[in-house]
Amino acid sequence: MEVLQKILSFLVVLGVLVVFHELGHYLVARWCNVKVLRFSVGFGSVVWSRRYGRDGTEFAVSAVPLGGYVKMADERDPDIAPQDRARAFNRASVWQRIAIVSAGPIANLLLAVVLYAGTFMAGVPGQKPILAEPAAGTAAAAAAVRAGDEVTAVDGTAIGSLADLRWRLLRASGHEEVALAVTAADGGSATRVLSLRGLDGSDWEGPFMQKLGLAVDLGAPLVDEVVPGKPAERAGLRRGDRILAVDERAARSPSDVAAATNAKPGAPIVFRIERDGGAFDVPLTTEATQANGRVVGIAGLRLKVDPALAERLGTTVRYGPVDAFAQGARKTWELSVFTLRMLGRILVGEASLKNISGPITLADFAGQSAQAGALVFVGYLALISISLGVLNLLPIPLLDGGQLLYYFAEVLRGRPLSDRAFEVGQRIGMAVLAALMALALFNDFTRLF
């Protein structure tokens, strides 16, 4: 049932994104008086179709649901009807062709703006960015971060939640330091200058806030579920137990427990437990397992924050319609730039190729976001829409960006490129996309197994 939900969620995501992408191409083609022969969701053989409009455009659903296309009249097609030649795509001016091709990715980016604006108007639930006392020797300790500091801005940009703080720090990767404006526990204002020099490229792909010493005091976590057959069950842990410490280090959040457990694969650790008003130690040996390409330890626990404390730390980020669209546009722009930066870091070896995901991982995340609620699912849809828009603008033949590269070359040369240049470009693009898909599927199966 869970697998079916993930597949259905992924198909919904893919369907919405493909329809909007192709709708961009379709509407601008019509605006430029180019005849559209077919609007297809999916590739391969047509399984359903209907004709609409004065041009009799065929709207179709095809067998392979991993994309879509808009087929326009083109004089290079031997089957083109004589009456359609005047409205062929290749007869459109170069600027009209640029507009038609770029309209698909732009439609995806505009969709993301609208989706994010909708979530901001509805109100995005989050957690206040109130920090705990940092561990000695961390960058946060060196910056004089204190327990109870609530971060209000990062480098002058206001934030309203812990997720905002994490995102602003992630955007600052590669910088030497950032300035955190905070409201201290006593109500005073201060600026903490946080050094980022201690983190390298791979650190940003993991729990970088922990490495910086930016911990959030969520209180000692509660055991929500004990996984049958795992070390925690064999050691006698129960649902409702409060984990006070792991190996004598205080646990201030579920992530503290996870980090301490993951760091000791197949090794003994000691949980300090509170149960029925008393406290006692529970020793256990973690189970070693593979996760994201490394060996980690697990105890077999699912943890949660004390509901009373979670309610006090909760917040909702909400904007009016005008501000919501402004915030949606800002977030879409920032995520687009971040996507390009991440691709650049992968190309130069500063980020792992494991960051490239394929349809299996996307389907898994789609299912998880659907289970988390409508707002999370809409946010995921917006994020994938941005990725689709940005990736399609890359100058790789077979993608929209590759076509745009040809047309801008035509603008500079004053005449179209030769058929031979198009043929070579198509072969290169096919090889690049095949390699990327193979890598993405390899990463998917690595995560899966």
Instruction: Give the residue numbers marked as catalytic.
Output: 22
The phi, psi pair for 358, rounded to 5°, reads -115, -165
The C-alpha atoms of residue 48 and residue 61 are separated, in whole angstroms, by 5
The C-alpha atoms of residue 243 and residue 269 are separated, in whole angstroms, by 13
Contact 218, 253 (CB under 8 A): yes
H/E stretch holding 246 reads strand 242-246
Q: In 3D, which of 218, 208, 189, 207 has the Cα closest to residue 127?
A: 218
Other CB atoms within a 10 A radius of the CB of residue 193 amount to: 12
Structure tokens at 70: 């808009």
Contact 216, 252 (CB under 8 A): yes
The C-alpha atoms of residue 193 and residue 178 are separated, in whole angstroms, by 6
Q: In 3D, which of 160, 156, 169 has the Cα closest to residue 129?
A: 160
The phi, psi pair for 10, rounded to 5°, reads -65, -40
Residue with tokens 């204002």: 189
Structure tokens at 182: 């905070």
